[in-house]
Amino acid sequence: MDSSVNIGVLGGDNRQIYLAESLVRDGYEVCACGFERAEFSAGVQKTSLEELADACGIIILPLPVTIDGVTLKAEYAEGRILLDDAFAEKMRGKRVFGGMMDRLYSTSEVWQEIDASDYYTRGEFTVKNAVPTAEGAIEIAMKEYVGTVSGSRCLVAGFGHVGKVLARMLLGIGAQVTVAARKPEDLAWIETIGCSAVQTAQIGGGYDLVFNTIPAMIFSRHLLSSLRGCSLLVDLASAPGGVDFEAAEKIGIHAILCPSLPGRVAPKTSGEIIRDTVYCMMEE
């Protein structure tokens, strides 16, 4: 078979396992590298990095591609996969897709000559990924909060993709929902969907549960002091988050940082979201 229609899944976590299996169901020949300690359903061929590079014209890297800026994220690999010039050379002539690619590009100048794209930056990926993120946040709240989410006073900080979905879900299970935003248009939309609205700069106390989606230090020591009585603060913001966790602990607020929720709570759906986004990019 023409290698241009063979797809290699290189490194990752449970999301990439489901991704590879879904690609096989769609009729692709799929090679997987970095999964020595994982099991796939029939059709996914485990290979070495060299074999994958020889066989595949399309290669999908994980999200994030790297955590330490030195090695590929590969939770099921027996050894480390170094991101260096030799790795980049193997990607020459391929179409490469990955999530959060900036740190990868800095590992070798060879990447300047490779057809590489970041699926994490795509709008359709962000919108679809908001659903498992919101579901995961509510699951954490149900486990960690001593009461029921239904009937609780909830604050959602931020009205981006995740904030929109999360607010609607919380309303659906009977929570009293306030959403904080800055733009007047967003504040109007918040009230239209049945939530209370508050300016981000005017957040005060009176909440049982707080969910932060704003990737900036919003919940400083000063603001956390006004939230005394809050039982749980779930931080969903991108790194480095938006909560002073040391201050939260001293004040007595149980704060949890929740990175990569989709991959943890819904790896099958998350893998399929990556697949669908890559399909869109391939068509372009």
pLDDT at 42: 86
Q: Tens of pLDDT along 32-42?
A: 999 999 999 88
pLDDT at 268: 95
Q: Tens of pLDDT along 246-269?
A: 999 999 999 999 977 888 889 999
Helix, coil or strand: residue 98:
strand
pLDDT at 262: 86
CA distance 222 to 55: 56
Please determine, for residue 147, whether its predicted confidence score (pLDDT) is greater than 80. Answer: yes
Task: Tell me the two tokens of residue 30.
Answer: 């799929």
Asked if 244 and 266 count as a contact pair (C-beta separation under 8 A), the reply is no
pLDDT at 88: 98
Q: pTM of the full predicted structure?
A: 0.86
CA distance 178 to 191: 9
Q: Which domains does the chain have, with CATH numbers?
A: 3-121 (3.40.50.720), 129-263 (3.40.50.720)
- Beta bridge partners, 155, equal 178, 210
Place 5 in a pLDDT band, splitting at 50, 70 and 90: low
State the SS3 of 22-69: HHHHCCCEEEEECCCCCCCCCCEEECCHHHHHHHCCEEECCCCCCCCC
Question: Over the chain, what is the mean pLDDT?
Answer: 94
Distances (CA, A) of 280 to 28, 32, 60, 85, 183: 16, 21, 14, 29, 31
> Per this entry, what is the length of the chain?
284
Q: Tens of pLDDT along 170-184?
A: 999 999 999 999 999
Closest CA relative to residue 30, chosen from 267, 260, 262, 278: 278
Query: Among positive and negative, which fits the CA dihedral 15, 21, 26, 28?
Result: positive
Please determine, for residue 26, whether its predicted confidence score (pLDDT) is greater than 90. Answer: yes
Q: Tens of pLDDT along 112-136?
A: 999 999 999 999 999 999 999 999 9
Stretch 102-106: mean pLDDT: 96
pLDDT at 240: 75
Q: Tens of pLDDT along 202-236?
A: 999 999 999 999 999 999 999 999 998 899 999 99
Which amino acid belongs to residue 167? Answer: A
